[in-house]
Amino acid sequence: MIDIGYNATLVAIGAGLLGVAAGVIGAFLYFRKRSLMSDAISHATLPGVAIAFLVMVALGGEGRNLVGLLTGAALSSLAGLWLVHWINRNTRLGEDAAIGAILSVFFGFGIVLLTVIQTIGAGRQAGLESFLLGSTAGMLRADAYVIAVGGALALIACLILRRPMTLVSFDAEYAATQGLRPGRVDMAMMTLALAVTVIGLKVVGLILIVALLILPAVAARFWSDRSEVVALLAGVIGGVSGAVGAVISSLAPGLPTGPIIVLVAAALFTVSLILAPTRGVLAGVIAQLRFRHRVHMRQGLLALAHGHRVHEGYTLRLLRRAGLIRADGVATSEGQREAALAAQDERRWTVLRGRPEAATLAAHYDGLTPIDTVLTSDQLTELDRLMKQGSDHGHATIRRAERGRSDG
């Protein structure tokens, strides 16, 4: 075990908890296609932080009280959220435009206020900039408690609301018929995102918190087709990113915690993108290559069965490597046997597809699936009997169909 010291352990635990909460809630935002909303929420916190500082100083108190600053952040973020909602509802602007406008205006206003604070109360403002990119250097036990309790409450709310949120995200109209109010469920979801953003301000900062809400969710999506599993996995990925990122940043002086956490999350996302089974990039490439292999093999065999010449280089290589043709392109005895089987399969399919009562079975036809994987042996016997019966009558059509397919 690496000994990283008391403060670093505290930060790692806090960041891990924050990551879990952000991952799970971010997953629901992603389901609802509202991930970017979190960007507006987080940027809209800045004026609140500055105003809360000014108010607390004006009242003669300590300007850097964390709870006070976070309350200010939550209030101004709520105002931003409400404005986005209002613009989207009452003007012709879409949500994306509203998010862009609110995000930049609030952030700009917040920066102006920070500058003002810097000039009037020089010296005392120290620390407010840390809300931009997060700062864990002076993290106290109390701060860790704030994160732990806030994160746990947000997770419990998420657990209670998981069905309404899932239903509204998948099919809002149906959700309405089930007695849910999609508008209210959305509001609850946004409030949860806001809560996570506010408690995450101290650790990752308002510019990067959006990454912790989005990256775990999209990474988790690669691994599962079930919403509950995706949400859980997003929590795990977020938690690991937070904890590991915090530990890494504590290993060397001067490594910023927030950005490192985001980079760890991005690394997990990249791994998921490439390596995930079925949805990952690598799996896609392999599946494509396999498919190409099957298509060329099948077409090659059918061409052999009908005595056509194979021209395509890739097909020739495949057949030669499998020992089905000789170097001069003539079929080996094994090749002849395989080709005959393929041709028989194709003939059986043609008969099956011509029979209306077998429409559901015939729908499995894709030119590659062997028919005996679709039919039972009884059905196969029946099919062969039909083929023998109709061979005089149907022969010409079958041959024509085969010829059409094997060219290409």
Partner 1 sequence: MNDLSQTAPLKVRGLTVSYGATPAVFSADITVQPGAMTAIIGPNGAGKSTLLKAVLGIIPRLSGQVEVYGESFDSQRARVAYVPQRASVDWDFPTRVIDVVQMGLYRQLGLLGRVRGQHRALAQECLSRVGMSDFAARQIGQLSGGQQQRVFLARALAQGADLYLLDEPFAGVDAATEKAIIEVLKSLKAEGKTILAVHHDLSTVPDYFDHVFIINKTPVAEGTVQEAFTQDALQRAYGGRLASGLLDQLFPVANPAPPASFGAGPA
The contact set with partner 1 (CB under 8 A) reads 31, 33, 159-161, 163-164, 166-167, 169-174, 176-179, 221, 224-227, 229-230, 359-360
CB of 256 to partner 1, least distance (A): 33
Q: In the complex with partner 1, which residue's Cβ is closer, 202 or 221?
A: 221
CB of 202 to partner 1, least distance (A): 31
CB of 305 to partner 1, least distance (A): 32
Q: In the complex with partner 1, which residue's Cβ is closer, 219 or 331?
A: 219
Q: In the complex with partner 1, which residue's Cβ is closer, 105 or 176?
A: 176
Written in H, E and C, the secondary structure of the chain is CCCCHHHHHHHHHHHHHHHHHHHHHHHHHHHCCCCCHHHHHHHCHHHHHHHHHHHHHHCCCCCCCHHHHHHHHHHHHHHHHHHHHHHHHHCCCCHHHHHHHHHHHHHHHHHHHHHHHHHHCCCCCCCCCHHHHCCCCCCCHHHHHHHHHHHHHHHHHHHHHHHHHHHHHHCHHHHHHCCCCHHHHHHHHHHHHHHHHHHHHHHHCCCCHHHHHHHHHHHHHCCCCCHHHHHHHHHHHHHHHHHHHHHHHHHCCCCCHHHHHHHHHHHHHHHHHHHCCCCCHHHHHHHHHHHHHHHHHHHHHHHHHCCCCCCCHHHHHHHHHCCCECCCCCECHHHHHHHHHHHHHHHHHHHHHCCHHHHHHHCCCCCCCCHHHCCCHHHHHHHHHHHHHCHHHHHHHHHHHHHHHHCC
For residues 29 and 221, the answer to whether their CB atoms sit within 8 Å is: no
Burial class (CB in 10 A: 0-12, 13-18, 19+), 335: buried
Q: In the complex with partner 1, which residue's Cβ is closer, 31 or 107?
A: 31
CB of 8 to partner 1, least distance (A): 36
Query: What is the C-alpha to C-alpha distance for residues 16 and 239, in angstroms, rounded to an integer?
Result: 4
CB of 280 to partner 1, least distance (A): 15
Residue with tokens 């699936």, as numbered in its chain: 369
Q: In the complex with partner 1, which residue's Cβ is closer, 156 or 286?
A: 156
CB of 20 to partner 1, least distance (A): 19
Q: In the complex with partner 1, which residue's Cβ is closer, 285 or 363?
A: 363
Q: In the complex with partner 1, which residue's Cβ is closer, 79 or 161?
A: 161
Q: In the complex with partner 1, which residue's Cβ is closer, 225 or 392?
A: 225
Query: What is the C-alpha to C-alpha distance for residues 170 and 324, in angstroms, rounded to an integer?
Result: 51
Q: In the complex with partner 1, which residue's Cβ is closer, 33 or 395?
A: 33
CB of 33 to partner 1, least distance (A): 7
CB of 84 to partner 1, least distance (A): 21
CB of 323 to partner 1, least distance (A): 37
Query: What is the C-alpha to C-alpha distance for residues 405 and 236, in angstroms, rounded to an integer?
Result: 50
Query: What is the C-alpha to C-alpha distance for residues 297 and 314, in angstroms, rounded to an integer?
Result: 9
Q: In the complex with partner 1, which residue's Cβ is closer, 198 or 230?
A: 230
CB of 272 to partner 1, least distance (A): 14
Closest CA to 348 of 365, 332, 326: 365
CB of 226 to partner 1, least distance (A): 6
Q: In the complex with partner 1, which residue's Cβ is closer, 156 or 282?
A: 156
